[in-house]
Structures are given as structure tokens and as C-alpha cells.
Structure 1
Amino acid sequence: MSTIERLETGQRMSQAVIHNGTVFLAGQVGAPGESVTAQTEAILKGIEKLLAEAGSDPTRILQATIWLADMDDFAEMNAVWDAWVPEGHAPTRACGESKLATPDFKVEIIVVAAQE
């Protein structure tokens, strides 16, 4: 039986789960009420931190799912995302519109990555 490692585990969820060399991150959000740019920047910093804890990094991201509260914010979020993704390492990606946990959240990002 293969092992499952959980990072930053609480009652409801873990922020990261590692299984068979694959890192699954929970949906990451920024500070409520901040701009789309500020939330996206904070989310990506949080993703970098969790991936590092899991033995991975942004060049190892396999898939990203991005939820926006309003698709009108697509270009603003993409400006931050495009500057952050390491050149030549763009993952598969989907982006859609959804109501998030509270109206103060404008962006949520979920990633799956390979360990190093």
C-alpha cells in the first residue's frame, strides 16, 4: 500500500496531499476584499510555499484550475499568472466563473504538481 502524506491538515481539509509523487493542493485564496491582482499574487506566493514544503516547485505544476468570481477579471488575473509561470513550464489549465466561499474572494486557484 502506498503512503499518503498530508500537509497543514485541519478538521475540514489539508492544504496539500502527496501520493505517489504527485502533489494535490487545496484551493488557494488571497486576502478577502483585496484586488484581483493582489489576491492572485498572494495565491501564487502561497502555492510556491506549499509546493516547496511538498518537495516541488512551479516548474513541476501539471494542472491548474482557476475560479474567478467574475470573468470580467480574466485579463487582470492573467497578467499576474503569465508573469509568474516559468517560461517553458506552462501547465494544463482551466479557468471558469463560480461563486466563491464569500463575495470578498475574487480568485481561487487549485494546482496538481509532480514532486522533484
Structure 2
Amino acid sequence: MLDHIGLSVSDYDKSKAFFTAALAPLGIRLVTEVAGWAGFGRDNRPQFWFGTGGPAQHPMHIAFTADNRAQVRAFYEAALQAGAKDNGAPGIREIYHPHYFGAFVIGPDGHNVEAVCHKPE
């Protein structure tokens, strides 16, 4: 159901040191850093993100797994019809990997909500 989650933090370096130490016993490690965000996970797949690089008005980011790109598109349209604000139309996000197909909306409480499919079309 959940693909990944992201939180805004006030001090990137302090948070990076904390989570590196605290999550190590669970087998979770720093996998990548992208545009001011740290991605932690197991098996080279970042599922927990934090950073200071995102807009402060979006305190949390949560991404749901989609089985295919059609589901990503359907999520986006349904969310907009339910009152969400656009934060990124369905499309490839190569910054993450060549098949990353996601759509982003801002929900009623200001959180950045995403649906993502990692499979090639």
C-alpha cells in the first residue's frame, strides 16, 4: 500500500546523524540524497525520506503504490475531483529512476500526496 513517506525537518545534518544511528539496528541505512532530501531504506530502495528542501507549507509527503500507470492517472483525476490541488501531473520523474511514474496533489490538510508506479509501461 505505502511506497514511501517524507517529512520536513528543521536541521538536515542533525536529522541525518540521528536517523543514521537510530535506524541502523533495524537494517535501515542512508540509500541516497537528492535535492536536499535523504532517502533511507533497505536493499537500496529508499522508503523513508526527510529534508529541508521542500516547501514548508507541505509538512508531510506520503506516496501510495500503484500497480500501473493507469492507476496513477486515475488517482490524480479522482483526487482533483475530490478537492485536491495539483502538485504535479502524472508523468515520468527520471530524477528518481527511468520508470518512476508519479502524480502529486495537495490534500485538504496541506500534505503532499502521491501515487507512484515503478514499472515500465
| Structure with greater strand share of residues | 2
**More RCO (CA 8 Å, sep 6+):** 1
TM surpasses 0.5: no
Task: Give the TM-score normalised by the residue count of structure 2.
Answer: 0.30
| Structure with greater helix share of residues | 1
Larger radius of gyration: 2
